[in-house]
Structure 1
């Protein structure tokens, strides 16, 4: 890399670090903790950030507490009073199932003097599975896997998950009644849609069994006849907004994708670079979003509209990948590879796209970086970008040319982070 290319890569890495830093549980949990009550304080939760959230709570909460949270394998951190369980994500396993059962046992028979602090972050849907009796764990795993491959967005996937679970869609919050419930939530979904964050275990769900069936049929997801009959009869209906059993539930968004984008913009401003935040909830097929972003980047590069270079285009949200090839997908790397192909080596444009949890698709890799030379350098090594994109194998592409971004567990999750840097022409 030339010195300018290296500087641009360092800038993009720095912005990603700023986005991660603002969403770290140690920074955001203490600000939103409830006060101790006269009764017991039970801590429960699920998600990729939940263990780090539990640790931050333990270190800052002034009263007695106990509890259990479940996180992804490799995302545990030490806690003294709160039990940390690791389970599988994105397809659930027996560890997650047992943790869900144990969680319900912890919150049974509480009084109105007790309180429950619920620590929720992205990944909670898979990490705390408790399907209805007619649904085996194997069927739950198959449905989850089919949804992940289908191209359904996170809102659609979690409509289905809420209606197949004894713990999601407000049911966990209702099970805590009459105790006071405070949910501290790190959002990873477009628009911070509360029923969709970990499938909304403590908030009312406005969607219905009919909506769940509509998603299942739209994406041709296979379900058993018994499950279909229950959905058609409305027997798996979730807890609705306004239900009396949720009246003592308080929900606090403690970190969001927008906060991450604003933190990156602030870091850029400190370096003398202006930013344009294009949105925190951009969705669509990853490679199509890449084409759109390439068009905006070219407009800035050529006409200095709607912002003058040097500048940054920042965005978040959750795109989708419909896997048809042999690769493992990865929405951030598919976005980047599509962006690079569309830019055709346009001088002065580089970009980063990463999942803030450190895992993009089926690879333990956060994402990647591209420069104006990415496609040509790979081509010189006999690698055609369009072939890798068509095979959903962008992770292999970026690994071979040394442009992957590997963070390991970040202990937070505020969805995808994308930054396109357009240098002065």
Structure 2
């Protein structure tokens, strides 16, 4: 297949991204694991307690229920975009990325379910990205409003997901091993779909079945070093200022990783090689979007243009909010790449796609964006200045004007972000 025109480049980029999302299918990923390693059963007279949290929770629970035997109870907490009725399970919806009252109630239900577990029971945890915001369970002394304020500060801080979740863990009853503390002495087996680059299970959904990322003091120091300490509500600062010993975990969970960004990136690569030359440039595209955009541009300029080429990236960037606009990390990254290419010129036809595998980028209905050499000109033609929109973090408006939003709808999975830069031949 020849990928020369902008239209065919767009079609190819969309196909590669779709393949990456498909590789993270939560039901298929769990099914493959359980075929080789069956779901553990409770002891005699015990029951299975299945709890699924995250954007992939309904699909993971539906598959898990096909494998469970005997007496059981099942609870799902997911985002409203990912809601799906699952026979045999209670399905609750909650807020993401900002926690809400429904999530607070869901967190209480999870704690009650875990606390009722007996030694002979078996707890099955099904964890995917988004679980951190979906089940807020503030420590004593904090309100939901405090948690929302903390989350808003963290999301605009530029901190990566691991450091954000370190802070969240020490303000929550469920994060950082909360399932283990509340569910003890019942054994816990967890199946995890990772949205964290490097697959640190302590950071996925803030690690409900793993030990904390760091200490109480580490969380406080992270906030101070990031310059966000003064923006936290008084109750959060007061809690983090307490001298609290590291949390002890009575039992360890059997944590199983069943899907990740790396697996999806490899699927994207296989798909791309069916179309043109392909290379995985980075499986850890992290940090500020401006730095990531420069890295992508430099990769483009270093590539050979004697044949169509796909340059692939996987990761999760961050945005430091300085304006009042609307957007998400993928949209801003795409717009920044388009701006760089406009200012310095990438030879020939090209298309750049940056998308969240969950289908939602920030507080918008878009998964991300797909830009090309005409993006900046189209924004100018609408009577707006792309640089001004970028300065205001208003990438969603800019990309709406250029017609470059990537709209997939909720995918039911979440393994961070995939970027595809397709370069047409310049020969």
* TM-score (norm. length: structure 1): 0.92
Structure 2 residue 347 is the aligned partner of structure 1 residue 338: no
**Residue 246 of structure 1 aligns with which residue?**
251
Structure 2 residue 286 is the aligned partner of structure 1 residue 288: no
Structure 2 residue 176 is the aligned partner of structure 1 residue 169: yes
How far apart are residue 110 of structure 1 and its match? 2.5
How far apart are residue 403 of structure 1 and its match? 1.4
- For 1:236-273, what per-residue CA distance to the aligned partner results, in whole angstroms no more than 9, with x for missing partners? 7444xxx4x233x11111110001100111111223x2
* Matched ranges for 1:186-205 at <5 A: 186-205=193-212
Q: 1:36 aligns with which of 41, 50, 54?
A: 41
Which deviates more from structure 2 when the two are superposed, residues 117-126 or residues 58-67?
58-67
Does the CA-based 8 Å contact 1:170-1:203 persist in structure 2?
A: yes
**Residue 62 of structure 2 aligns with which residue?**
55
Structure 2 residue 299 is the aligned partner of structure 1 residue 322: no
How far apart are residue 233 of structure 1 and its match? 3.0
Does the CA-based 8 Å contact 2:42-2:121 persist in structure 1?
A: yes
Structure 1 gap ranges (5+): none
Structure 2 gap ranges (5+): none
Structure 2 residue 387 is the aligned partner of structure 1 residue 386: yes
How far apart are residue 320 of structure 1 and its match? 0.8
The whole-number CA distance in structure 1 between the counterparts of 2:349 and 2:28 is 35
**Residue 219 of structure 1 aligns with which residue?**
227
Aligned residues: CA RMSD: 1.9
**Residue 269 of structure 1 aligns with which residue?**
273
* Matched ranges for 1:17-416 at <5 A: 17-33=18-34, 34-38=39-43, 39-217=46-224, 218-221=226-229, 222-235=231-244, 237-239=246-248, 243=249, 245-247=250-252, 249-271=253-275, 273-301=276-304, 309-344=307-342, 345-346=345-346, 347-416=348-417
Does the CA-based 8 Å contact 1:186-1:254 persist in structure 2?
A: yes
The whole-number CA distance in structure 2 between the counterparts of 1:408 and 1:234 is 45
The whole-number CA distance in structure 1 between the counterparts of 2:243 and 2:54 is 28
Which deviates more from structure 2 when the two are superposed, residues 35-44 or residues 401-410?
35-44
Which deviates more from structure 2 when the two are superposed, residues 192-201 or residues 104-113?
104-113
Does the CA-based 8 Å contact 1:203-1:246 persist in structure 2?
A: no
- For 1:324-347, what per-residue CA distance to the aligned partner results, in whole angstroms no more than 9, with x for missing partners? 122113111111111111112522
The whole-number CA distance in structure 1 between the counterparts of 2:232 and 2:350 is 46
Does the CA-based 8 Å contact 1:163-1:237 persist in structure 2?
A: no
The whole-number CA distance in structure 1 between the counterparts of 2:247 and 2:281 is 34
Does the CA-based 8 Å contact 1:162-1:238 persist in structure 2?
A: no
How far apart are residue 378 of structure 1 and its match? 2.8
* TM-score (norm. length: structure 2): 0.92
Aligned residues, how many? 413
